[in-house]
Structure 1
Amino acid sequence: MSARPDIDVRPIREDEIPDWIRAVHTGFLRAPEVSDREVAERSPYIVPSRTLGAFDDRRCVATFRSFAQELTAVGGAPVPADAITNVTVTATHRRRGLLTRMMGQDLAAAKERGDVVATLIAAEYPIYGRYGFGPATWATEWTVDVPRAGLDPRLSVPPDGGRIDLVTGEEVRKLGPELHERLRAGRPGVVDRDERWWQLSTGALRQDRFPWTEPFHAVYRSADGTVEGLVTYVCDNTWADAKQPLNTATVKGLIAVSPAAERALWRYLCSIDWVTTVKSGWRSPDDLLPFFLPDPRAARITMQADWLWVRILHVERALEARTYEGEGTLVLEVVDPDGLTGGRLRLEASAGGASCTPTRQNPDLTLGVGELSALWLGDESAVRLAALGRVREDRAGAGRVADALLRTSRRPWCPDVF
């Protein structure tokens, strides 16, 4: 069913923010009431020109918002991204093309601004592939049975001369941004964090709609005193009938810029008195956890799913922005039904850089922009996509050439939700 012509899809006005927030609540099955405080909290961060609504007889029935973001490409270069969030369509107005209209308006504006990619975290898998998005990073959560893990509690102090210190939220706001910038420079898939992110994560800024529990923060300092890791976690207070502790430490965020810091922070979490279970939070699927544990089976996977979705808006710029571990040439036929990018392009890549230019040569691979978007950060395999029938090898062995050029030694990771 197509949208009725009297359903108006457009940027919202400031006076429509409360109705727009109410529609967001409705779409995410939250209580539909909107307080004056919530409107006051959210309004400074809602840019009306990048906040779309679908209005049926002045009632907001679909929502869509985007904001400026930087996404780390392979090799550490930040690329401008159109970050998409707050996407809803009210149940009474589904199947009318409202999301398609909002997405079309936003992506066209992003391309006009010069954004290289668009990004989002998908609540449902089947929706966004039809708009040219592909799952570019994945996330895994482990639940660690601490007594079974086999760690020697006497080794809770880092053996490399480093140390673990508990710190306050105020200290995190001073130490965290620089540490995160170091992480961002070395890990594809990481996105930037603004001052508001650090305020929200440390309780300096609180929102009525989200209950706040004051967390613990711990940093790892190397032997020379440099902060190389940070973990934020909360603990419950659960005991067995026989006065046996059964407490769980739940990680809200852990970033580390060295393997020593990563191992030391996980070891610290598993050495806290009374803690018998550690929930890892959303991690990269190739995290050092659980394989540094004496018994890796003590960590069971409790969640594994697609995470950051990427939609390339400018193929040439996207492929030239990243680095390549190998050297080679690949002619790609990139199909974009929406006409935002694509065409036949010759990629010449080496450790020294890359060029991507239009060509009339016969293609080596033919693929949709969504498939290229899934490959761009280095996680997906062209050979696997070809086996699934989603990439066509026009030249035998081209999938292996693509994997040798595009794949990375460590998987990309996005530690944030937005």
Structure 2
Amino acid sequence: MGNDAHGRPGQDIEIRAITEEEIPVWDRAIARGFLRPHIADGTEFRRLTFEPGRFLAAFDRADGDRCVATFRSFDAELTVPGNGTLPVDAVTAVTVNSTHRRRGLLSGMMRQDLAAARERGSLAAILIAAEYNIYGRFGYGPATRAHGLRIDLLRSGGLRADLPVPEGGRVDFLSLEELRKLGPELHDRWRLTQPGAITRSPAWWKLHTGEVTLPGYDWKEGFYAAHRDADGVVTGLIWYSVDDTWDGAFPNCTLTVNDFLALDRPTANALWRFAFSVDWVRHVAVGNLSPDDPLPLLLNDPRGAKPHEESCDFLWLRLLDLPAALAARSYAAPGRLVLQVTDPEGWTAGRWALETAADGTGRCTRTDDPADLTLDIGRVGSLYLGAESATRLLAAGLLTEHRPGAAATADLLLRTPTAGWNPDGF
């Protein structure tokens, strides 16, 4: 049996948490689901991240109890406007084998996980969407953008000479051992300054520094450099690779930035100056940069920077507890806005009054007052980190304005000094 009358998995399909002994089977199902050859067993890395109850799978009893779908979640912290954090349920490793599409397997795993996340106290869930039209039906909305750049160093004329850099600062290469020691502490300091940033687990650092391997993740040792201030304190980090490309006897190499952390603007300037000065490099590529990063304006000719072809929506957000999530972030102005929210699961549905104070705090309570705006919970997620505007959603027909000017009011209250941005896939 495929589905029941409500589109849920039928009696031949069982959705459940896997045991640690079933990780190899789950790992092979992920390879099938992501259309990748299973070139080697990834159990070693999977065990590092294994948590009972958080690795889900669908098993088809009619096919020899084969694992035909996978799903994983883990706890993380999400930085919100005002530098507070939310406990979130981070969803990843979502696959359904091609033989079992349209049987409700994703819906069953997602709803099971989100319900468990609410019980654990997660205020929201996050994921990186491989396809745009899948996750809106579960209440997710695109909440940050990846905005990469390709910079032609000759056309741009390089960095302006008047950019401030830390007095007495220096840039030094790091060994992998030094990176493993210094990187996590620096990232924990940096992420609390950037709305949309999330925690990096110890397993993340092991994978991204080659301490453990995962077949299919083609890690290669790159170049790692840290900026230290005059007191020797690390204030920034750049990780990059350089291709070996020549135009006859002339170097035509591209430096690709894989990770870039800077605690302040002068440190960022110093690290960019370092990257732009590497011998043989004619182009600098940054795959994921904040949409409002000033890097193009640091160039002598900003026209030398072109958008990267992979620029698109990135982190998706699903709020699970609307009052707690809205109280956790800061606001740019005092005001009041009544939101009529729809929710496919009903958890945040209803009419809510968002009241914000001059000190930047806010509270969200249920109300019977007339609604100013009507929108679904996914659109609230799109507005939450400051990467999207209500007036743009209104123009696109993605929310309804009942009081003239209400969308502009929402943008005033939700305005953030920097756009929400997340550099990390997961």
TM-score norm. by structure 1 comes to: 0.94
1:74 equivalenced with 2:74 (yes/no): no
Identity between Structure 1 and Structure 2 (%): 49
Partner of 1:52: 56
Counterpart of 1:389 in structure 2 is 397
- CA 1:86/1:294 → structure 2, altered by over 3 Å: closer, same or farther? same
Unpaired runs of at least 5, structure 1 = none
Q: Take 1:259 and 1:100, find their aligned partners in 2: how far apart are those partners?
A: 44
Q: 2:383 aligns with which of 354, 375, 385?
A: 375
CA distance in 1, matches of 2:22, 2:186: 39
CA distance 1:158–1:389, change in 2 (3 Å): closer
Displacement of 1:33 in angstroms is 5.2
1:175 Cα offset (Å): 2.1
* Aligned-residue offset at 1:114: 0.9
Q: Which residue of 1 aligns with 2:330?
A: 323
1:95 paired residue number: 102
Deviation (angstroms), 1:163: 1.9
Q: Match of 2:25?
A: 19
Equivalent residue in structure 2 for 1:43, among 38, 41, 47: 47
Partner deviation per Cα, 1:279-309 (whole Å, 9 max, x = no partner): 1121111112222111111111122100000
CA distance 1:275–1:384, change in 2 (3 Å)? same
Which residue of structure 2 aligns with residue 362 of structure 1? 370
Shift of 1:205: 2.8
The residue type equivalent to 1:225 in the other structure is G
Q: Could you tell me whether the CA contact under 8 Å between 1:22 and 1:33 is conserved in 2? A: no
For 1:249-305, what per-residue CA distance to the aligned partner results, in whole angstroms no more than 9, with x for missing partners?
A: 111100111111112211211111111111112111111222211111111112210
2:16 to 10, 20, 24: 10
* One-letter code aligned to 2:328: A
Counterpart mapping for 1:199-214 below 5 A: 199-214=206-221
Correspondence 1:84 to 2:86: no
Give the secondary-structure state (helix, strand or coil) at the position aligned to 1:4.
coil
In 2, Cα distance between equivalents of 1:203 and 1:113: 33
1:340 aligns with 2:344: no
Q: 1:19 to 1:152 in 2, by over 3 A?
A: closer
CA shift, 1:342, in A, is: 2.7
Structure 1 residues 282, 335: closer, same or farther in 2, change over 3 A? same
Task: Provide closer, same or farther for how the CA distance between residues 407 and 357 of structure 1 changes in structure 2, counting only shifts above 3 A.
Answer: same
8 Å Cα contact 2:237-2:261 kept in structure 1: yes
After TM superposition, the structure 1 = structure 2 runs for residues 22-171 of structure 1, keeping only pairs within 5 Å, are 22-32=28-38, 34-35=40-41, 38-57=42-61, 58-151=65-158, 158=165, 160-171=167-178
Paired with 1:43 and 1:201, the residues of 2 have a C-alpha distance of 16
User: Over aligned residue pairs, what C-alpha RMSD do you find?
Assistant: 1.9
Which range is displaced more, 118-127 or 375-384?
375-384
Question: Number of residue pairs matched?
Answer: 415
5+ unaligned residues in a row in structure 2: which ranges?
Answer: none
> Does the aligned pair in 1 maintain the 2:80–2:86 contact within 8 Å?
yes
Query: CA separation in 2, counterparts of 1:313 and 1:217?
Result: 38
Select the residue among 229, 234, 256 that pairs with 2:236.
Answer: 229
2:166–2:267 contact (8 Å) kept in structure 1:
no
1:293 aligns with 2:266: no
Equivalent residue of 2:274, what SS? helix
Match of 1:313 in 2: 320
SS in 1 for 2:247: coil
Alignment counterpart, residue 251 of structure 2, candidates 234, 245, 254: 245
- Does the CA contact (< 8 Å) of 2:157 and 2:301 recur in 1? yes
Contact kept, 8 Å, 1:62 with 1:89, in 2: the verdict is yes
Change in 2 beyond 3 A, CA 1:184/1:265: same
CA distance in 2, matches of 1:348, 1:98: 40
Asked whether the 8 Å contact 2:394–2:401 carries over to 1, the reply is: yes
Kept after mapping to 2: 8 A contact 1:143/1:279: yes
Q: Once the two structures are superposed, what CA deviation does each residue of 1:57-103 show, in whole Å capped at 9, x if it has no partner?
A: 21111111100111011111111000000001111111111111111
* Aligned partner of 1:402 among 406, 410, 415: 410
What secondary structure is seen at the aligned counterpart in 2 of 1:67?
Answer: strand
CA contact (8 A) 2:152 2:282 kept: yes
AA of the residue aligned to 2:106 = L
Tell me the distance in 2 between the aligned counterparts of 1:154 and 1:353: 41
Q: Tell me which moved more, 222-231 or 280-289.
A: 222-231
Q: Does 1:284 align with 2:284?
A: no
Supply the distance in 1 between the matched residues of 2:162 and 2:174 (Cα, whole angstroms). Answer: 21
